[in-house]
Amino acid sequence: CATASTVMHLFSAGDHIICGDDVYGGTYRLFDKVFTRCGLSYSFVDLTDLAAVEQAFTAKTRAIWVETPSNPMLKVVDLEAVCSLAHGRRAKVICDNTFATPMLQKPLLLGCDLVVHSTTKYLNGHSDVIGGMACTNDAAWAEQLRFLQNAMGAVPGPWDAWLVLRGTKTLPLRMRTHDHNGRAVAAFLAGHSQVEKVYYPGLPEHPQHALACRQMRGFGGMISFVVGGGEPAARRLLKKLRVFSLAESLGGIESLVEHPAIMTHASLPQASRDRLGIVGGLLRLSVGVEAEADLLDDLSQALQAARSA
């Protein structure tokens, strides 16, 4: 959030930003409740619908904020198409690449002007840092960001910076395992009778699967799924999990599970959650690097408990 706040100071009162409608709840809260006080305006749009994106442009639109894959619905946005649309209207594209990491997706090479990461997540990988970073190949923006970073105090401590650098040394190894386990867990869930829906770009039935195959070098370890029986069943499942820990974070070596409707995305209005599919039975997994069999066994017994209660 500190990174997003710093980046937003690149813009001025009166500017308009188009933001994906399916973003991290903290990002939505910043846009909806904080940045509007600075005179910025926002439109939340399904960025997988290019016609809707085009309609959202105004004379004051200065940028598009993209999260892909998105949180928590794992939608994949066509970055080249969005960049072409934005640049044709002299707007910038900012991409939150936290879920994919540079190992699986390189937004700057696809045309984006600036990329942000929560270094708390995969880049660090060990759940012992809070931080963020911004990367750009735009020299003017880089100079402005360095000034803003210094002026606003958005500077990580040396120990935090060292921990992130340490984490990046094992990033390729970790992401391969996250991706392997993610595919296995998604396939298991997709074939389970207690699961109504699985959101994972690596599944052939995902609406942007072909795009993900073209744009990404793997699908990662983030999965969302809907438990049959709604919120009561989801709560029973959460209580029975043993390998997956209940927590909002993601991207560490340990497997985590969270309940978006009452945790990460509770700040979204109910109508918005319903429209996006963030229902009471939706759970989000951050699949770690544990043994595949342990992860599947844990989910199997928890799903059985959720069904039999």
- The predicted-structure confidence for 93-135, as pLDDT tens digits, reads as follows 999 999 999 999 999 999 999 999 999 999 999 999 999 999 9
Domain with CATH 3.90.1150.10 in the chain: 171-308
Q: Which segment of 18-32, 123-137, 170-184, 227-241 scores lowest on mean pLDDT? A: 18-32
Q: Are 243 and 294 in contact (CB under 8 A)?
A: yes
Q: How confident is the model at residue 308 (pLDDT cuts 50, 70, 90)?
A: low
CA proximity to 222, closest of 104, 110, 49 = 104
Residue 309's pLDDT band (boundaries 50, 70, 90)?
A: low
Say which residues have a Cβ less than 8 Å from residue 228's Cβ, sequence separation at least 6.
193, 194, 195, 196, 281, 307
Instruction: Report, as an integer, the average pLDDT of 80-85.
Output: 99
Q: Which residue has the higher pLDDT, 265 or 2?
A: 265
Strand order in the sheet with 256-258: 195-199, 222-227, 282-286, 256-258, 245-246
Q: How much is the average pLDDT of 136-160?
A: 91
Average pLDDT of span 84-101: 98
* Per-residue pLDDT at 307: 84
Q: Which tokens belong to 116? A: 């942000």
Can you tell me the mean pLDDT for 182-186?
A: 99
Pairing of strands 132-136, 195-199: unpaired
Q: Please tell me the predicted confidence (pLDDT) of residue 242.
A: 98
Quickly state the pLDDT bin for 35 (edges 50, 70, 90). Answer: confident
118-150: burial string, b at 16+ Cβ within 10 Å, e else: bbbbbbbbebebebbebbbeeeebeebbeebbe
pLDDT for res 113: 97
> Using 50, 70 and 90 to split pLDDT, how confident is the model at 29?
confident
> SS3 of 133, please?
strand
DSSP-derived secondary structure for 202-270: TSTTSTTHHHHHHH-S---SEEEEEETTHHHHHHHHHHH-SSSEE-S--SSSS-EEE-TTTTTTTTS-H
Tell me: pLDDT of 160 over 60.
yes
Question: What is the mean predicted confidence (pLDDT) over 200-211?
Answer: 99
CATH number of 2-168: 3.40.640.10
Query: What 3-state class would DSSP assign to 169?
Result: coil
Percent of the chain clearing pLDDT 70 (strictly above): 98
Query: What residue ranges of the chain are covered by domains with CATH 3.40.640.10?
Result: 2-168
pLDDT at residue 2, rounded to an integer: 58
Whether 298 shows a pLDDT value over 90: the answer reads: yes
Average pLDDT, the chain: 95
The reported pLDDT for the residue numbered 168 is 98
CATH architecture group of domain 171-308: Alpha-Beta Complex (3.90)
**Rounded distance, CA 183 to CA 177, Å?**
10
Cβ 67 vs Cβ 222: under 8 Å:
no
Is the pLDDT at 167 greater than 90? The verdict is yes
